[in-house]
A and B are shown apart, each in its own frame.
Chain A
Amino acid sequence: MSGPDLNSQDQPEISGSAAAALPPEGRPVLDGSSIEFRDASVTYKGGVHAMRSLNLTIEPGEFVVIVGLSGAGKSTLLRAVNGLVRLTAGSVTVGSTQIPSGSGGTRELRKVRSRVGMIFQDYRLIQRISVIENVLLGRLSQVPTWRTMAGLWPQRDKAIAYEALQRVGIEEKAWVRASNLSGGQQQRVGIARALAQQPAIILADEPVASLDPVTSRQVMEDLVRINRELGITTLVNLHFLDLAKEYGERIIGLQAGELVFDGSADTVTDDDFHRIYGRAPNQDDVLEAPPVALS
């Protein structure tokens, strides 16, 4: 019996170059912007293994795209970073803080969350109030609760919120009701809300899945630009392979809760996608169908 060999067979096969995990040059390095998973597992009630002994290090300022079929554990991975989903084994560390497991550590967790912005597929804006009030929610953790309850936001925080709106280019919509915006505009408000947190990390959970191709590109470009300018570590879940290749620097592939690919976007091949998806990529896996010849 060859013990060590057996052991290595249990490990998911990982290809691609690990050298992708280097802090990208020219970007500011933010405190608390690294993420480290150690033997991290998540088993949901009912026995679904959404994450299996994941080992993963994300350096400050990286732009990482996570791909995989739905149910592969992409959302779980993102939510483990800000503790919306707690690990059932192993650890995840953000900066120097380990995310508490179990249900405790509320205060610690809020501290981590205050520096981790999140963007959702369905935007999750309060539809009945104005855009700027939605963006101000990004300041919740920095403003005393009695003020947020009364809606008495300090001037300084209003300025930060307005700046965040300017950064995504929709400051003229500040006083418009969120429900009156298009999907693309709402997603930008979602990005602004995350930016208003002055985060070290941004988690984007399928941010373009509800958008048309043109708007999708604009939103992805916003995310890339913010990552370059501010050095915010950015994790994006995507299910479109072409977008992943186009915008990701580092691509992580998940399958049934396991890491099956980790490498730079330049090196990823169709074979890699084949392995991540367990089948050949098809039309549904790309944002835009290949150009059709018009006769």
Chain B
Amino acid sequence: MSLPQRPGAAARRLRLVTIVAAVVAITWWAARGIEMSLGQLVRNIPQARRLLNDSWPPDWSFLSRLLDPFLETVQIAILGSTVGVLVALPVAVLAARPIAPRRWIYLIDRNFMNILRTLPDLFWAMLFASAVGFGPFAGAIALSVFSVAVVSKLLSESIESIDLRLLEAVEASGGTWFERVRYGVMPQVLPQYVSYALYMFELNIRASVVLGLVGAGGIGVVLNVQLRTFNYSRVAVILIAIFAFVLIIERVSEAARRRLV
């Protein structure tokens, strides 16, 4: 007996062709919109080669002057992560449907979280730079807000998936709302919470490099200055250092997280 034809095979094939055609059409539309041209790319190869020539060899002597800016980047990331992760906790708890004490609190908090997340970290950096002046402090505040946005979303989802039966046990012994959260919720999400905090620190290290480009302190400021003065051999050193640094931070944080969960 041979395998009978899969039912609706023709319709299936037609659907696949339609989807592929749609994707191609949309991509073509986007490429036209931004005036993408392969010719331009090819014509500019010599210029790219000049850029590489200028960057090589990297100016290794510049490396020693990167230590302080790097420290500043780390400090910005630490502060931003710590404050942000702490504030994210109540935000996340109130945005978890089974835990929120009132439905309207849940709705307000959820929308607040969504607004925070919609706006990019660069926006916050510029906002706080104009409020408290350019510098690492503005960067740290911006990263705090960014961290609240990311961690509260992740954490509230973790909280929504906990085992609610433990909450009933705490409730049955006369626990208050705070005690239900403390003993019914927290023990269940603590490993994830710490894991999110470490992940946030990783993200913030990377983000604070970019924030530096708009003047919010750290290694990004140095990168910005060297780029603007066309000092490409120094730019190369900075990029290599950032690459190595971010890699190390990620590895350490990943190892720590794996032990947790």
Contact = CB atoms under 8 A, between A and B. Distances in A.
Contacts of A125: 169
A189 to B, nearest CB: 11
B115 to A, nearest CB: 29
Contacts of B7: none
Interface in B219-236: none
Interface in A90-133: 110-111, 113-114, 116-118, 120, 122, 124-129
A113 B180 CA distance: 14
Contacts of A124: 165-166, 168-169
Nearest to B167: A124
A125 to B, nearest CB: 8
Nearest to A151: B182
Interface stretch (A43-51, A62-70, A135-143): A135-143
Contacts of A17: none
A57 interface: no
Given A124-B166, A124-B168, A126-B183, A145 B173 contact: no
Interface string B167-194: 0111111111011001100011010000
A137 B173 contact: yes
B182 A148 contact: yes
B182 A82 contact: no
23 contacts: A84-B171, A110-B174, A111-B174, A113-B171, A113-B172, A114-B174, A117-B172, A120-B169, A124-B166, A124-B168, A124-B169, A125-B169, A126-B187, A127-B187, A129-B187, A138-B173, A140-B170, A140-B173, A140-B175, A141-B174, A148-B183, A149-B178, A149-B182
A128 B188 CA distance: 8
Interface string B107-142: 000000000000000000000000000000000000
Contacts of A110: 174-176
B43 to A, nearest CB: 62
Contact of B165 (A117, A120, A141, A193): A120
A202 to B, nearest CB: 11
Contacts of A84: 168, 171-172
A98 to B, nearest CB: 17
Report, nearest first, the 3 A-B pairs whose CB atoms are least far apart: A141-B174, A124-B169, A113-B174
A197 interface: yes
Given A117-B172, A140-B175, A145-B176, 8 more contacts: A82-B172, A84-B171, A111-B174, A113-B171, A114-B174, A127-B187, A137-B175, A148-B182
Given A126-B183, A128-B187, A148-B179, A140 B174 contact: yes
Interface of A: 82, 84, 110-111, 113-114, 116-118, 120, 122, 124-129, 137-138, 140-141, 145, 148-149, 193-194, 197
Given A124-B166, A145-B178, A193 B187 contact: no
B169 A114 contact: no
Interface centre among B169, B173, B179 (most CB of A within 10 A): B173
B172 A118 contact: yes
**B contact residues, range:** 10 to 19
B210 to A, nearest CB: 37
A24 B7 CA distance: 73
A30 B166 CA distance: 28
B165 A122 contact: yes
A253 to B, nearest CB: 25
Contacts of B168: 84, 124
A129 B183 CA distance: 10
Contact of B175 (A117, A122, A128, A141): A141
Nearest to B170: A137
Nearest to B180: A140
Contacts of B187: 126-129
Contacts of A197: 173-174
Given A118-B169, A120-B169, A124-B166, A137 B183 contact: yes
Contacts of B176: 110, 140, 145
A190 to B, nearest CB: 8
A128 B190 contact: yes
A60 B190 CA distance: 42
A190 B229 CA distance: 70
B203 to A, nearest CB: 27
A187 to B, nearest CB: 13
Contacts of A128: 187-188, 190
Contacts of A194: 173
B101 to A, nearest CB: 10
Nearest to B174: A141
Contacts of A111: 174
Contacts of B174: 110-111, 113-114, 140-141, 197
A127 B168 CA distance: 15
Nearest to B182: A149
Contacts of A122: 165
B179 A145 contact: yes
Contacts of A193: 173
A120 B165 CA distance: 10
A200 to B, nearest CB: 13
